[in-house]
Structure 1
Amino acid sequence: MRKLALNDEILLSIQQPARYIGGEFNMVQKDPDKVDIRFAMCFPDVYEIGMSHLGIQILYSMFNDREDIYCERVYSPWMDLDPIMREQNIPLFTLETQEPVKNFDFLGITLQYEMCYTNVLQVLELSQIPLHACERGENDPIVIGGGPCAYNPEPLADFFDLFYIGEGETVYFELMDRYKENRAAGGGRQRFLELAAEIPGIYVPAFYDVTYHEDGTICSFTPNNPHAGETITKQLVVDMDSVGYIEKPLVPYIKVTQDRVVLEIQRGCIRGCRFCQAGDVYRPLREHSLEYLKHYAYDMLKSTGHDEISLSSLSSSDYSQLEGLVNFLIEEFKGKGVNISLPSLRIDAFSLDVMSKVQDIKKSSLTFAPEAGSQRLRDVINKGLTEEVILNGARQAFEAGWNRVKLYFMLGLPTETVEDMEGIALLSEKVAETYYEIPKEQRHGKVQVTASSSFFVPKPFTPFQWARMCTKEEFLERANIVRGKFRQMLNFKSLKYNWHEAELTVLEGILARGDRRVGAVIEAAYKNGAIYDSWSEYFNNDAWMKAFEDCGVPIDFYTTRERSLDEVFPWDFIDAGVSKEFLKREWKRAMEAVVTPNCRGKCSACGALKFGGGVCFETRETTEGTGL
């Protein structure tokens, strides 16, 4: 019987005690004394968010498949428990054994979004692990960062011993084996970091020095240790069926954000949207086979009791076996009350046909992502959607019985004009008008079109990494222009418009393209009280602004400053597959509003196929071993 780290008095005084007690269905239990390595896997956000993350579930299953490793979980304590742990000196603990994280060999922290960075410091401080890697001793865990934000690890460089660049199924076991070998040989922390730095995809920040020009841009980024390479190459799974998936997903006792089985059907994307980091860093497109997915879909639904399965990918419509997979799920689970969720579908006749088979049309809404209000700007961002396609999709959806549509846009995109902004309202109006063009007997009540605008953030490894970013005031001015245009629409009562938080977006932009100097700002903001920044009710912009001022770090250097094509970026030492030359070409094509065909149309020589395992869609042949 496990002894809980929190006593009954504390558990009764906080919200959702189930966030901290573990014991969930399918939780792995091992004898800690019979394993060689103990790995604490952390999602630096509240339990309900972290438990919904697919990557954690995959790594949890993968690590625990090895008898010599015990992988346990830890999440950020919520705002009610955080002060209690500090006051009573309770060290942060894992859910599986309730043991302090500071006693583990590794603390792995997934970095899914920039606004979790202060929570990373919360996890370290509550774990009683020194915040700075250079201050940790032999008895402290090795702190590893991974996930999409690790593609620019520099703002967090001071706080991590190493970063894992790429997909977790590739070299993690080699890293664990070197840890065991080093310990058996009597080696210490420094020696292990040197051994780790020799593994492809592993980045040890302490082994690199950065110098700056007088204007603040990077002058040089060079290794200071012979074990460190000049370039860190991302690691990715070549053959998707060669790695295992999740046989028995964890099932929480409380409702979480995604309370369903998640089946990853492919990685990568063929579309080439110029603002999308995931579309670039996860290239090339790699699919699971239909038989692989059938096996895991059946096993996961059987082992969890969930009544919903979500088919996950960046663009589900592009999975070549989607129809066969959906038909299998419909037939296999007919009459068993299993719902099928299909996120990231493009709205076309095929997708609508698939959705009509698996969704309750009366209860669901359709989601379109035009991203921009005009065709010119959609060409700039390489969205690959015309107004005709959007309206035809809406018409087919309305004829099939849907009457609620969500439209997602971005404001602040490069080259955006007032006409582009107002186009958001005009396109939303045209979608609503399309509903009233179909025969009355085919309509189902009133139409509701909800348009949402996020604000554009330039991300590393995208063609827009050179783009200027708007100020908070410019973002809000643009949102007001769009809102004003919506009020002029004839179907105004059927339209709804909302937008993201401008202050939060500016900060995200700084953290996304920041360098090592931003680390001091993160730490200062945390000490000023910043935490749970992605939660609007807790976001404290004043804490951040004071941190920038106190640290002498100018905000506009990272946001509104124009960047030259030959500038050295903080992340340039990482080879993420897509070449910088390709990104420059795409940036120039964007400025000319020239569309680049998707990967099934014509290979654009982005560089990602050099990893092997991708598919050239012109020949349908794999490129493994070709050197392309």
Structure 2
Amino acid sequence: MRRLALSDDILMKIEKPARYIGGEVNSVMKDKEQVEIRFAMCFPDVYEIGMSHLGIQILYGMFNRREDVWCERVYSPWLDLDACMRQEKIPLFALESQDPIKEFDFLGITIQYEMCYTNILQILDLSGIALLAKEREESDPIVIGGGPCTYNPEPLADFFDLFYIGEGETVYDELLDLYKANRQAGGSRMEYLEKAAQIEGIYVPAFYDAAYTKEGLLSSFTPNRPCAKPVIQKQVVMDLDGAYYPVKPVVPFIKVTQDRVVLEIQRGCIRGCRFCQAGMLYRPTRGRSLETLKEYARKMLASTGHEEISLSSLSSSDYPDMRGLVTFLIEEFQEKKINISLPSLRIDAFSLEVMEKVQDVRKSSLTFAPEAGSQRMRDVINKGLTEEIILEGAQQAFDGGWNKVKLYFMLGLPNETLEDRKEIPRLADKIARKYYEIPKDKRNGKCQITSSTSFFIPKPFTPFQWAPMYDYEEYVQRAADVKREFQEQLNRKSLKYHWHDAETTVLEGVFARGDRRIGAVICRAYKKGCLYDAWNECFSYEKWVEAFEEEGLDIRFYNNRERKMEELFPWDFIDIGVTKRFLQKEWQRAQGAEVTPNCKERCMGCGAGKYKGGVCLESKDEVS
């Protein structure tokens, strides 16, 4: 019988003990004496968030298919258990075996958002693993980072032995086989890292040196040993039908953020929004076949008992067989009353027709993401939506019986003016007017339009990576501009407005485009008590400001200056396919509010076509 790492006394004291006991449906148990590699897969946030992440489910199932590997899961302990573990000196443990993480061969950490960085240090600290990679011993696990934030890994470089750049289904088997061979040959930890650095997509930070100018700019970034590649190539799965997919995902005992089956229909996006990092990172667009998705849907619903299935994609409307897939799901699972969730749909006649069939019209709300209030700003960001399209979609929704609409916008976009900001409430009011144009006897109660604004953060590998950000006070002022204009609208009683926290925006901006020097700030902030920074009740901006000051680094240097075209970025050593030259041209087009066609309309030669075996050209000269 498996023995729990936590005593009954501790389990009775903490919130939601089911977060830590394991044993969930479809979790994998193996005899640790019969496997050669033990891999702890970590999501550095609370269990409910981590259990909703598809990427971990994919890697968990993929690794456990191998007879020689046992992959287990670990999440950040919540604050109550964190305090107990430190007081009682209980090491962090994996859910399946309840064994200490320090006993594993690998600790893989997926890094999905910047505000989890101190949680990564919590995981290492509670595991008894040195925070700095250079201080680890031979017996410590190899600490691997993966996920979207690793496309600028430099703020975390000091804490990781290696990073995996790209999609996990490609070279992990090679990495694990290499580990076995190195151990059988009596090789050291360093010898393993030297061999791993020669695998495509693997980045070992210790094998590179960064130098800076007297002004603080990155002047060079070079390998310091022969095994390290000058350029790290992003890994991409081109055949999604042939790739592993978890048809028996782990089912939690408690309610989690996304308590449903997730069916990933495609990767990538054709749209080319200039603010969107995912749209650039995950090019080229690749889809699963309709027959494969039908098979996965049947198996996943049968193996989990879930009553809802969600279609996952950056832009579900662009999946070519969407009509056939939705028709199948409705007909196949109608008797079982399976709810179908359709995120990332463009609001058009077909989408509304589908949603009317799969949702309770009276209870649901529809989501539009105009991103900007004025047409000029929508053209600057290359959103590809006109006001006419937005209002027409809203009209169709209201005619279909909906009366609640959520609108998502960004503030602080490049070249944004006060007039652009005022257009956000004005657009919300125009949508409300569309509802009140419907005869009273055909309305479904009172209309509610809820608008939310987040603050724009320039991300690596986007056309806006050169853009400046603003101080905290400026973001607050911009939100106040919008709020004031909402109060001036005719239908203000039907309008609600929310805005994102400005302090976390400032930090996210630093982490997104920071260099290796930021690692010392993260370490200092963690030692000051910063943890769960993505949670408002835990976040302390003052402690972070102190950490920057004590390390002699200026937040404004990383955020507020506009980068020059020729500046060397900390992430320039990574090749994602999309070229810097293409991004530069898109940045220039943004200055003139010039719209770029989407990938279906015209290939603009971004460079990602090389993953399909071709070469993308912008002119007669190859993009470089």
**Alignment RMSD (CA, Å):** 1.2
Per-residue displacement from partner, 1:227-274 (whole Å, max 9, x unpaired)?
001000000101111112012011100000000000000000000000
Deviation at 1:614, TM superposition (A): 9.0
Q: Work out whether residues 606 and 623 of structure 2, in 8 Å CA contact, stay in contact via their aligned partners in 1.
A: no
Q: Work out whether residues 463 and 583 of structure 2, in 8 Å CA contact, stay in contact via their aligned partners in 1.
A: yes
Partner of 1:50: 50
Per-residue displacement from partner, 1:421-477 (whole Å, max 9, x unpaired)?
000000000000000112223210000000000000000000000000011111100
Partner of 2:12: 12
Partner of 1:296: 296
Unaligned runs of at least 5 residues, structure 1: 617-625
Q: Work out whether residues 285 and 615 of structure 1, in 8 Å CA contact, stay in contact via their aligned partners in 2.
A: no
Partner of 1:579: 579
Check if 1:501 corresponds to 2:505: no
CA distance in 1, matches of 2:152, 2:363: 40
CA distance in 2, matches of 1:522, 1:441: 58
Per-residue displacement from partner, 1:257-303 (whole Å, max 9, x unpaired)?
00000000000000000000000000000000001101111000000
Check if 1:210 corresponds to 2:196: no
TM-score, normalisation: structure 1: 0.98
User: Within 5 A, what are the aligned runs for 1:608-619?
Assistant: 608-612=608-612
Per-residue displacement from partner, 1:127-185 (whole Å, max 9, x unpaired)?
00000000011100000000000000000000000000000000000000000000011
Check if 1:177 corresponds to 2:177: yes
Q: Name the amino acid aligned to 1:587.
A: W
Deviation at 1:488, TM superposition (A): 0.5
Give 3-state SS (helix, strand or coil) of 2:449's partner.
strand
Q: Work out whether residues 582 and 623 of structure 2, in 8 Å CA contact, stay in contact via their aligned partners in 1.
A: no
User: Within 5 A, what are the aligned runs for 1:181-196?
Assistant: 181-196=181-196
CA distance in 1, matches of 2:599, 2:481: 36
| Sequence identity (%) | 69
Per-residue displacement from partner, 1:3-50 (whole Å, max 9, x unpaired)?
000000000000000000000001111111101100000000000000
Measured at CA, do residues 627 and 238 of structure 1 come closer, stay the same or move farther in structure 2, by a change above 3 Å? farther
CA distance in 2, matches of 1:529, 1:627: 47
Measured at CA, do residues 613 and 427 of structure 1 come closer, stay the same or move farther in structure 2, by a change above 3 Å? farther
Check if 1:551 corresponds to 2:561: no
Give 3-state SS (helix, strand or coil) of 2:451's partner.
strand
CA distance in 2, matches of 1:61, 1:321: 27
Deviation at 1:356, TM superposition (A): 1.2
Runs of 4+ in 1 over 6 A off after TM superposition: 613-616
User: Within 5 A, what are the aligned runs for 1:333-352?
Assistant: 333-352=333-352
Partner of 2:315: 315
CA distance in 1, matches of 2:383, 2:169: 31
Check if 1:417 corresponds to 2:440: no
User: Within 5 A, what are the aligned runs for 1:106-121?
Assistant: 106-121=106-121
CA distance in 2, matches of 1:114, 1:576: 20
CA distance in 2, matches of 1:198, 1:351: 47
CA distance in 2, matches of 1:559, 1:334: 51
Q: Work out whether residues 610 and 627 of structure 1, in 8 Å CA contact, stay in contact via their aligned partners in 2.
A: no
Give 3-state SS (helix, strand or coil) of 1:346's partner.
coil
Deviation at 1:613, TM superposition (A): 6.8
Partner of 2:475: 475
TM-score, normalisation: structure 2: 0.98
Q: Work out whether residues 467 and 562 of structure 1, in 8 Å CA contact, stay in contact via their aligned partners in 2.
A: yes
Q: Name the amino acid aligned to 2:195.
A: L
User: Within 5 A, what are the aligned runs for 1:28-177?
Assistant: 28-177=28-177
Q: Work out whether residues 239 and 613 of structure 1, in 8 Å CA contact, stay in contact via their aligned partners in 2.
A: no
Check if 1:393 corresponds to 2:393: yes
Partner of 2:515: 515
Q: Work out whether residues 39 and 69 of structure 2, in 8 Å CA contact, stay in contact via their aligned partners in 1.
A: yes
Partner of 2:258: 258
CA distance in 1, matches of 2:444, 2:320: 33
CA distance in 2, matches of 1:97, 1:56: 18
CA distance in 2, matches of 1:565, 1:354: 45
Q: Work out whether residues 145 and 164 of structure 2, in 8 Å CA contact, stay in contact via their aligned partners in 1.
A: yes
Partner of 1:434: 434
User: Within 5 A, what are the aligned runs for 1:242-253?
Assistant: 242-253=242-253
CA distance in 1, matches of 2:478, 2:44: 33
Q: How many residues align?
A: 619
Partner of 1:277: 277
